[in-house]
Amino acid sequence: MKKATTIIISSFTIHILLLISIPLTSSQSNENTTIVDQICKKTPFYDLCSSILNSNPLTPKTDLKTIAIVMVKNILSNATDTLNYIEGLIKKTSDRGMEQALAFCAESYIPVVKYTLPQATDAINQNRFAFASYCVNDAVKEINSCNKKFSGLTLVSPLGDRNGIVQKLVDVASAIIKQLLKG
Ligand SMILES: *[C@@H]1O[C@H](CO)[C@@H](O)[C@H](O)[C@H]1NC(C)=O
Ligand SMILES: CC(=O)N[C@H]1CO[C@H](CO)[C@@H](O)[C@@H]1O
């Protein structure tokens, strides 16, 4: 009888200890900005990187892998929005050359949004960082080729700085994935 009580008490003690240790481990997330800072300082666009990571409440701020996924998902939503914008412009334009350039851009963005970026996310999840890096660099190429289409057509790209933003986001993600590759 006494033994049983001891077991109950000791397992109770273990539970208490576990409960006490939970706040201790979660207090590590107080080092939020320092970790995000360290990661973002190794990317070419510190402000962009830290504003995205700090504004994402889901970022478990100590895990480089999850941070890389947050970044790639951010590019995905940004690039999806840009693709919708391009498709909207295609419907509106009456200029044939412009329509062709925009259609070319839509064709560049579609595989990025549908395959390349989701593949990058999967690859990071599966610790295949070299493949993730390849996917992200491939996205850069597609967006670059879209950008070039407007250089002879107009002084100001009809996409404004949208391509530029997606390019910067991809550069940031690429730099974070490089840190994963080293780690
Ligand atoms: C794309 O990224 C830029 C820079 O972070 C941001 O200002 C913009 O709101 C984003 N757009 C979407 C649709 O996520
Ligand atoms: C610089 C900064 O914003 N750091 C914050 C990190 O998280 C702790 C606790 O949540 C805050 O007190 C700091 O201000």
> In this structure, what CATH number is given to the domain that contains residue 132?
1.20.140.40
Residue 158 domain-assigned (yes or no): yes
Range of the domain at 114: 33-182
How many domains, the chain? Answer: 1
pLDDT digits (tens, 9 = 90+) for 12-70: 666 655 555 544 444 444 555 578 889 999 999 999 999 999 888 776 657 899 999 99
Dihedral angle of Cα 9, 14, 19, 22, to the nearest 10 degrees: 180
Ligand 1, from 55, 78, 82, 171: best to mutate by most atoms within 8 Å of Cβ?
A: 78
CB of 30 sitting under 6 A from ligand 2: yes
Nearest ligand 1 atom to the CA of 77 is 14
Residue 57 half-sphere exposure toward CB, CA atoms < 13 A? 0
The predicted pLDDT at position 21 comes to: 52
What spatial distance separates the first Cα and last Cα of the chain, rounded to whole Å? 53
- What was the pLDDT predicted at 10? 65
- Is 136 a residue whose pLDDT tops 90? yes
* 60 against 182, higher pLDDT: 182
Q: Classify residue 13: in a domain, yes or no.
A: no
What burial class does residue 163 get, using C-beta atoms within 10 Å of its C-beta: 0-12 exposed, 13-18 middle, 19+ buried?
buried
Ligand 1 and 165: CB distance under 6 A: yes
Both tokens of 73, joined, read 């998902």
Higher pLDDT, residue 99 or 7: 99
The lowest-confidence range among 12-21, 42-51, 75-84, 156-165 is: 12-21
C-alpha distances out from residue 170 to 24, 66, 137, 163, Å? 35, 16, 8, 10
The number of the ligand 2 atom at minimal distance from the alpha carbon of 54 is: 3
User: Ligand 1: which atom is nearest the Cα of residue 168?
Assistant: 4
Residue 23 maps to a domain: no
Lowest-pLDDT choice from 9-13, 69-73, 107-111, 114-118: 9-13
77 CB within 6 A, ligand 1:
yes
Single pTM value for the model: 0.75
Ligand nearest to the CA of 85: 1
